[in-house]
Amino acid sequence: MWHTQGIRTAEGNDDLVPRLLLTDGPHGLRKQVEGSDPLALDNGIRATCFPPAVTLGSTWNPALVERVGAAIGREARAEQVAVVLGPGVNIKRSLLCGRNFEYLSEDPVLAGRIGAALVRGIQSIGVGASLKHSAANNQETDRLRVSADIDERTLREIYLAAFEHVVTHAAPWTVMCAYNRVNGTYASEHHELLTRILRQEWGFDGLVMSDWGAVDDRVRALTAGLDLEMPPTHTDAAVVDAVLAGTLDEEVVDRAAGRLLALVDRTRAESRHPTSTPVALDAHHQLARAAAADGAVLLKNDDGLLPLSPTAPQTIALIGPFAAVPRYQGSGSSRVTPTRVDGPLDAIRALVGAAVIVETVPDDGADTDTDTDTDTVALAARADVTVLFLGLPDEAESEGFDRTDIVLPVDQLRLLDRVAAVTDRLVVVLANGGVVSVAEWQDRASAVLELWLPGQAGGLAVADLLFGRTNPSGRLTETIPLRLEDSPAYLHFPGAEGTVTYGEGLYVGYRYYDTLHVPVAYPFGHGLSYTTFEHTDLEVHLDGTTTLVAVTVTNTGPVAGAEVVQVYVRAHGTVGRPRHVLGGFAKLSLEPGAGERVTIPLDARSFAYWSAREHRWRVEAGEAVIEVGASSRDLRLTTTITVPVDGHPPVLTPLSTVGEALEHPEAGPLLARPGGPIATMLADDTLDPGHHAMLRSVPLSRVAAFDPAIDVERLRALLAPPTEPRIG
Ligand code: BGC
């Protein structure tokens, strides 16, 4: 289930090619106990359960995430694991995807940066990472056969972009293909995805393995560029037969085998990292605590109810289903057997001073037992502050199925109603992997702290955050809408009869909400702090093709804290675009009163769109607005710049228009030659603008009708040969 096949010498003793051990581990190692049921999900050896991707993403902190990756790498190495099966960088297209807790963001730039940090961290220890699930695995419904039908531009700009960033910036040793089909072709057989784009365009030099059981036809998969079927089945014979029958080139088999050997060599070459070094599990637990605290998002904090004082005499009620027994990770193949678990109740009791009374009701909250419920409400009524721990139960979200709504369980909402009726000092702490709606109840709580899934040290992190030992600094990686029905994929998800159409196109997450000004509960990038930050002195300048955005961030409040300064780009042009897209970001820790000047680089991609006509990235000349702020809807500074163009003239075809051709360095002057009819008409301002527009819309194939003297041969010589077909 978890090993590649090794080869022994003829004598049968030494390993000629050692077998490699591959295990799950996007947020901690899941190495199954030797000899246990390979299909079970809860039989891993003990390993540090770091916060899952949803929380790591919310840190917006690649440096910290890289340290988490290195810790996972160290635990993997100590267990002779060659490749850790993660991270997953699929885009959170729908709020309902059961696996959203394993993914990083609705935004490909953020998912790419955080994903690259994890890969760098894991591989820094000499253990390979497996970037997954390539590609367009954005739902669990029907995942083994559904075809994700996506237009070419959307695929490139949204669904491939994070993979591209990780491959080109962090060079993962392996990539895992997805179960689903993409535009009708299984991801495991998708030559364009696995070879033409991944290897030839992005320069991937590692091994492509299948997701577990994702291979439908081994020979077709090999031909498309899938090197390793996992787990191994009985399809070797089909490969041999195909070679003998001449339908499969033996070179294809050699190439795949060669890539496996290269992976073996890579893991060997890294043996400078000893496997015998004991793993510092306590340090890893503390790192898990830091990551959980860094990724928690303070959604609201009316009248500064938080942080609570750890010393002032007061009674604090801790109630709700996850007060004593935390929800800290998701289900499915990523499930880790933790080395220990710290829940909120014990952690808070350990943190506060003697004057603070922490009370709870055993087994309270989510059950319908009226006596317990009465005790709970009485406790909330007499406490000075009530902290209510709500969220999604374990069985609500997992690999293998999707959710059908985003509401909290009804018994929790009922508990919240009853508690809110007796206290106005109510803090809600949420633990959930996928978004839960807050709109219908959040006005009854003064503060809401979204932990996502905080990993095994989550309780310590909650205590740190509630009592101000750590200042919250997580930011939303996905928009929290007012209603599920407001979300962009609502009408198309999860499809039917084996097909899901990505009908919302590019307009995923804030790209949709912000473009259409849809009111939301909390926007992308949002997150409060116990201090305040000011953004000033925006300056933008060009360094080659890189746009450098400099801004000063100052901590203007009373305590130390961290700000995530976000840069959005609003580009205009001839194609439809989202209102703005994230270009870059930086997380800065600042003492009270301190300021820091930070420079955030934007590469040409921040201004580009994928031209489905030319099958390439295009940057259109013109202006763009650079926006700097603390969320996609809290933009504090803006400036307009001239876009640094990429130097590629537009590709002309017979169907290019006069307007498009006028931008071309050779065709433009040819069409607009002085005295020619086109130049004359365009210069004639007695003609109404509609006339000009009409002229500009004429295809080159018809231009002779408007300009009989045009040098058709010269024009023809400038036209590109027909391009390759779109992805399909
Ligand atoms: C999941 C992968 C995982 C693999 C091995 C599959 O069901 O989709 O993410 O790595 O199992 O457990």
pLDDT digits (tens, 9 = 90+) for 267-326: 987 665 666 678 999 999 999 999 999 999 999 999 999 999 999 999 999 999 999 999
Q: What is the mean pLDDT of residues 58-73?
A: 98
What is the β-pairing status of strands 499-501 and 147-149? parallel
pLDDT of residue 347: 98
Q: Which residue has the higher pLDDT, 281 or 689?
A: 281
pLDDT of residue 290: 98
From 211, 227, 373, 402, active-site residue: 211
- The DSSP bridge partners found for residue 633 are none
Chain-wide mean pLDDT for the chain?
94
Tell me, using a 6 A CB cutoff, whether residue 463 lines ligand 1.
no
Active site residue 211: yes
Question: How many angstroms does the Cα of residue 178 sit away from the middle of ligand 1?
Answer: 9
Type of residue at 621: A
Question: How many angstroms does the Cα of residue 269 sit away from the middle of ligand 1?
Answer: 27
User: Which atom of ligand 1 lies nearest, measured to the CA of 86?
Assistant: 10
pLDDT of residue 269: 72
DSSP-derived secondary structure letter, 442: G
Angle between helices 410-420 and 370-382 (to 10 degrees): 40
Secondary structure (3-state) at 727: coil
pLDDT of residue 270: 64
Tell me, using a 6 A CB cutoff, whether residue 193 lines ligand 1.
no
The model's confidence at residue 10, banded by pLDDT at 50, 70 and 90, is confident
Class of domain 285-522: alpha beta
DSSP strands (E only) in 324-463: 356-359, 385-391, 426-431, 447-450
pLDDT of residue 272: 56
pLDDT of residue 273: 60
CATH 3.20.20.300 fits 7-271, yes or no: yes
Residue 421, CA distances (Å) to 21, 102, 198, 416 in order: 55, 36, 56, 8
Pocket test for ligand 1, best of 31, 97, 399, 401 (most atoms within 8 A of CB): 399
Q: What is the mean pLDDT of residues 187-206?
A: 98
Residue 608 to residue 380: CA distance in whole angstroms: 54
- 3-state helix vs strand vs coil in the chain, percent to 5: 30, 20, 45
Tell me, using a 6 A CB cutoff, whether residue 177 lines ligand 1.
no
Type of residue at 451: L
Specify the range with the lowest mean pLDDT, choosing from 9-13, 71-75, 420-424, 536-540: 9-13
- The DSSP bridge partners found for residue 32 are 44
127 contacts 172 by C-beta, under 8 angstroms: no
Q: What is the mean pLDDT of residues 580-590?
A: 98
Q: What is the mean pLDDT of residues 46-59?
A: 98
The full DSSP string for 447-479 is EEEE-----TTHHHHHHHHHTTSS------SS-
DSSP-derived secondary structure letter, 271: G
The full DSSP string for 83-95 is EEE--B-----ST
Question: How many angstroms does the Cα of residue 86 sit away from the middle of ligand 1?
Answer: 9
The model's confidence at residue 722, banded by pLDDT at 50, 70 and 90, is low
The model's confidence at residue 542, banded by pLDDT at 50, 70 and 90, is very high
The number of helix segments (H) and strand segments (E) in the chain equals 20, 28
pLDDT of residue 275: 66
Class of residue 525 by CB neighbours under 10 A (exposed 0-12, middle 13-18, buried 19+): buried
For 702-719, give one letter per residue: b (16+ CB within 10 A) or e.
Answer: ebeebbeebeeeebeebb
Residue spans of the domains in the chain: they are 7-271, 285-522, 533-643, 658-717
Type of residue at 240: V
Type of residue at 500: V
Say yes or no to pLDDT of 364 above 70. no
User: Which atom of ligand 1 lies nearest, measured to the CA of 143?
Assistant: 8
Residue 482 to residue 494: CA distance in whole angstroms: 20
pTM attached to this predicted model? 0.95
Q: What is the mean pLDDT of residues 335-359?
A: 97
Tell me, using a 6 A CB cutoff, whether residue 24 lines ligand 1.
yes
76 contacts 316 by C-beta, under 8 angstroms: no
Of 500, 497, 433, 513, nearest in space to 138 by CA = 500
pLDDT of residue 276: 67
pLDDT of residue 41: 81
The model's confidence at residue 531, banded by pLDDT at 50, 70 and 90, is very high
Q: Which residue has the higher pLDDT, 92 or 655?
A: 92
Query: Hey, whose CA ends up nearest to atom 6 of ligand 1?
Result: 212
Rounded to the nearest 5°, which phi and psi values hold at 133? -105, 115
Residue 116 to residue 52: CA distance in whole angstroms: 15
Q: Which CATH superfamily is domain 533-643 in?
A: Immunoglobulins (2.60.40.10)
* For the ranges 17-26, 557-566, 658-667, the one whose mean pLDDT is highest: 557-566
Q: Could you report the per-residue pLDDT of 597-644, keeping only the tens digit for each? A: 999 999 999 999 999 988 999 998 889 999 999 999 999 999 999 997
Question: How many angstroms does the Cα of residue 39 sit away from the middle of ligand 1?
Answer: 11
The model's confidence at residue 36, banded by pLDDT at 50, 70 and 90, is confident
Residue 493, CA distances (Å) to 66, 168, 181, 313, 496 in order: 33, 31, 16, 51, 9
pLDDT of residue 37: 87
Specify the range with the lowest mean pLDDT, choosing from 254-263, 366-375, 396-405: 366-375
Q: What is the mean pLDDT of residues 468-493?
A: 98
User: Which atom of ligand 1 lies nearest, measured to the CA of 132?
Assistant: 9
Residue 504 to residue 159: CA distance in whole angstroms: 13
Say yes or no to pLDDT of 455 above 80. yes
Residue 601 to residue 542: CA distance in whole angstroms: 9
